[in-house]
Amino acid sequence: VLDRQVKYEEAEKMHRQALQLFEKVLGKEHPSTLSSMGNLVGVLNDQGKYKEAEQMLDSLEFIIWEPKLFQRFRWGHYDIY
């Protein structure tokens, strides 16, 4: 919602808090954590923080393409950790 209201600084803060919580509770490989990371990338991009967005996107791609995790996504077994 904050993203659509062009309140990017507030949105970034909220997305960072959410990401930190997801990582702590669910782990870095959980689909909800990865989705949260993608949301933060979008907000960073909207603010013109391209370098930080690119670095986070690279991290996200690295995690997703890890063979064990990729198989879970490929076969739809998101709940197996």
Distance of CA 76 to the CA centre of its chain: 19
Q: Pull the structure tokens for residue 77.
A: 């077994």
pLDDT for residue 1 is more than 80 = no
* pLDDT, tens only, 17-59: 999 999 999 998 888 899 999 999 999 999 999 999 999 999 8
CA separation for the pair 46, 30 (Å, rounded): 25
Angle at 63 between CA 40 and CA 49, to 5 degrees: 30
For residue 41, give the amino acid letter. Answer: V
Most confident residue range from 5-9, 15-19, 70-74 = 15-19
Output the pLDDT for position 66: 72
Angle at 79 between CA 76 and CA 60, to 5 degrees: 75
Model pTM score:
0.76
